[in-house]
C-alpha cells in the first residue's frame, strides 16, 4: 500500500479510536487475556497483556493499529510465550463468514486484482490485461451475503440453546466488520474443553459424520420404529422436519428410505448436512490459543467496526458498523462494482478521480480499490 494511503487510513482510524472510546472495551478478566495488534504494512505483535480500558486506549492512540486482537483463552501469564502461558480455559467462539456459504451472489461482487500489473477486473481467473493467474480476490459483500450469514447465526443459536442448554444471555453476536459474524459463548460447559472436544462440537453443529444407525437405519433388518419422530428434539427432530417435510408424510418417506437402502441413506444424511447443517468455520472454534479481532476495533479489510448486534434481525451491517467520518476526500477510485454504505450508493468507478465521504474512501482503500488523489 502507498504511504499516502497508509497515512490516510492511520489518521482516520486514530480519529475513530479517539472519538469512540465508548465502543471499545477490554473484555472481562482482562489481566488473564492475551492481546495483539498489527500496524499497517507490518507484522503482528502478540503476547501483550493489557490491564484496563485506559491502558487499551493508550495502546490504540500510541500505535494506531490496523487491527487489534484479544484471546478467547484465559492464561496465568498471558504475556509469556505460548508454551509458558499456562492455559486455563477459553470462551467458545464461532465464525460465520459469507464466503463459506457458496452464495450465488458472490461472483457478482468479487473483484480480481492482478498481482503482476495491478489491473482490476470483475471476478475472473485470469488478468484481462496481462493474462496472469496471480490474482487477489476482493469481495464487496451485499445484503444477501449478510442475510444468509444471519440465517446461519440463528441456526447456530438455536442448537446452542436447545441442544446444549446454553443461556441466551451468555451468547453475544458481533458483526465481524467485513462479511460475517463472530459468536461468543460465555460460561458454557465447554469452557475448559480442549481442541478435540470442540472439534466434536463443531461436527455436531455442522451435522458432519452422522451415523445412519442414530437415525434408525441399519444395514440388516432396519426397524421403522427407530426412525426419528417428527417432533423429536435435536438433530433427529431437524432431520424429520427436513426429510419428511410434514408429519403426515413420515410413514411414506420411511418406506422409501428403507427401499433405497443403507448407502442411499448415508447420502441423505450428507444432504441434510449440506442443506441444514450450520456453516461455521471449524478451525476457529477448535483453536483454543487464537487471538480474535477485539470488539469495537476496526477491521482493516473494510474500515468498518466489529460491533455487537443488539438486535440481529434489525442489524444493518453496512450502516450500523460504519463510524468513520463523513468529511469529503478526493481519491482515484478503480472500483468496478457498486456498493452501499450508510444507505448511500457508491460506484462503479472506472479509474477516476472522485470526491467521496471519508468512510467510503477508507472502505475502498482498505479493499485496494482506490488511492488518495
Ligand atoms: Zn495483470
Ligand atoms: Zn452477496
Res 300: pLDDT: 98
Query: What pTM was computed for the model?
Result: 0.95
d(CA 55, CA 171): 27
Characterise 229 by phi-psi region: left (phi > 0), alpha (psi -120 to 50), beta (else): beta
Q: Which long-range contacts (CB under 8 A, 24 or more apart) does 19-24 make?
A: 19/323, 20/296, 20/305, 20/323, 21/53, 21/57, 23/296, 23/305, 23/307, 23/323, 24/53, 24/56, 24/57, 24/60, 24/294, 24/295, 24/296, 24/297
What one-character DSSP code corresponds to residue 40?
A: T
Q: Is 174:296 a contact under the CB 8 Å cutoff?
A: no
Q: Find the 142 Cα to ligand 2 centroid distance in Å.
A: 4
Q: What is the pLDDT along the chain (373 residues), one digit of tens a residue?
A: 899 999 999 999 999 999 999 999 899 999 999 999 999 988 999 999 999 999 999 999 999 999 999 999 999 999 999 999 999 999 999 999 999 999 999 999 999 999 999 899 887 888 989 999 999 999 999 999 999 999 999 999 999 999 999 999 999 999 999 999 999 999 999 999 999 999 999 999 999 999 999 999 999 999 999 999 999 999 999 999 999 999 999 999 999 999 999 999 999 999 999 999 999 999 999 999 999 999 999 999 999 999 999 999 999 999 999 999 999 999 999 999 999 999 999 999 999 999 999 999 999 999 999 999 9
> Ligand 2 mean position to 51 CA, how many Å?
40
Q: Which ligand is nearest to the CA of 112?
A: 1
- Domain parsing of the chain, residue ranges: 3-99+142-203+281-372, 208-276
pLDDT at position 295: 97
> What is the spatial distance between Cα 99 and Cα 371, in angstroms, rounded to a whole number?
26
Considering every ligand atom shown, identify the ligand nearest to the alpha carbon of residue 130 and give its number. 1
Pairing status of strand 344-346 against strand 339-341: antiparallel
Cβ atoms of 76 and 85 within 8 Å: the answer is: yes
Would you name the residues annotated as active-site residues? 95, 97, 281
Q: Which ligand is nearest to the CA of 126?
A: 1
User: For residue 300, how far is the Cα from the chain centroid?
Assistant: 14
Residues 34, 78 contacting (CB under 8 angstroms): yes
Q: Is the separation of the CB atoms in 5 and 20 below 8 Å? A: no
CA-CA distance, 62 to 45, in Å (whole number)? 14
Pick from 283, 282, 136, 263: nearest CA to 202? 282
Task: Please tell me the number of the ligand nearest to residue 131's CA.
Answer: 1
CA angle 173, 175, 180 (to 5 degrees): 105
Ligand 2 centroid to Cα of residue 229, in Å, is 36
| Record: fold of 3-99+142-203+281-372 | DNA primase, PRIM domain (3.90.920)
CA of 107 to the centre of ligand 2 (A): 8
Tell me what pLDDT residue 128 has: 86
What is the 161 CA–ligand 2 centroid distance (Å)? 28
* Nearest partner of 154 among 88, 115, 205, 208, judged by Cα: 205
**Ligand 1: centre distance to CA 334 (Å):** 15
Q: Is the peptide bond before 171 cis (omega within 30 degrees of 0)?
A: no
Report whether 109 contacts 142 (CB < 8 A). Answer: yes
Amino acid at each position: 500500500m502507498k504511504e499516502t494511503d497508509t497515512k490516510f487510513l492511520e489518521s482516520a482510524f486514530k480519529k475513530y479510536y479517539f472519538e469512540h472510546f465508548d465502543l471499545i472495551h477490554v473484555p472481562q478478566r482482562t489481566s488473564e487475556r492475551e492481546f495483539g495488534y498489527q500496524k499497517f504494512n507490518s507484522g503482528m505483535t502478540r503476547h501483550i497483556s493489557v490491564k484496563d480500558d485506559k491502558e487499551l486506549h493508550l495502546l490504540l492512540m500510541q500505535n494506531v493499529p490496523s487491527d487489534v486482537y484479544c484471546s478467547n483463552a484465559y492464561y496465568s501469564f498471558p504475556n509469556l510465550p505460548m508454551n509458558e502461558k499456562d492455559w486455563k480455559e477459553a470462551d467458545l467462539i464461532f465464525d460465520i463468514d459469507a464466503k463459506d456459504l457458496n452464495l450465488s451472489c458472490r461472483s457478482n461482487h468479487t473483484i480480481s486484482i492482478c498481482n503482476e500489473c495491478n489491473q482490476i477486473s470483475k471476478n475472473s481467473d485470469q488478468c484481462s490485461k496481462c493474462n496472469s493467474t496471480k490474482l487477489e480476490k476482493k469481495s464487496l459483500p451485499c445484503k444477501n451475503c449478510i442475510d444468509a450469514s444471519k440465517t446461519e447465526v440463528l441456526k447456530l443459536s438455536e442448537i446452542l440453546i436447545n441442544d446444549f442448554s446454553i443461556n441466551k444471555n451468555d451468547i453475544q453476536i458481533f458483526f465481524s466488520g467485513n462479511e460475517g459474524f463472530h459468536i461468543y459463548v460465555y460460561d458454557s460447559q465447554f469452557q475448559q474443553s480442549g481442541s478435540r472436544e470442540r472439534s466434536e462440537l463443531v461436527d455436531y453443529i455442522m451435522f458432519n459424520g452422522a451415523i445412519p444407525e442414530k437415525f434408525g437405519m441399519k444395514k440388516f433388518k432396519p426397524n421403522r420404529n427407530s426412525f426419528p419422530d417428527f417432533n423429536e428434539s435435536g438433530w433427529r427432530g431437524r432431520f424429520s422436519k427436513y426429510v419428511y417435510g410434514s408429519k403426515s408424510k413420515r410413514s411414506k418417506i420411511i418406506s422409501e428410505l428403507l427401499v433405497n437402502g443403507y448407502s442411499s441413506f448415508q447420502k441423505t444424511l450428507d444432504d441434510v448436512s449440506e442443506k441444514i447443517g450450520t456453516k461455521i468455520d471449524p478451525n476457529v472454534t477448535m483453536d483454543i490459543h487464537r487471538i480474535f479481532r477485539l470488539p469495537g476495533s476496526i477491521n482493516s479489510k473494510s474500515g468498518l467496526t466489529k460491533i455487537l448486534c443488539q438486535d440481529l434481525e434489525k442489524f444493518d451491517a453496512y450502516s450500523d458498523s460504519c463510524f468513520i467520518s463523513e468529511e469529503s476526500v478526493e481519491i482515484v477510485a478503480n472500483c468496478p462494482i457498486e456498493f452501499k454504505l450508510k444507505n448511500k450508493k457508491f460506484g462503479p468507478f472506472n479509474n477516476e478521480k472522485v470526491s467521496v465521504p471519508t468512510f467510503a474512501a477508507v472502505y475502498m482503500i482498505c479493499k485496494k480499490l482506490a488511492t488518495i488523489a
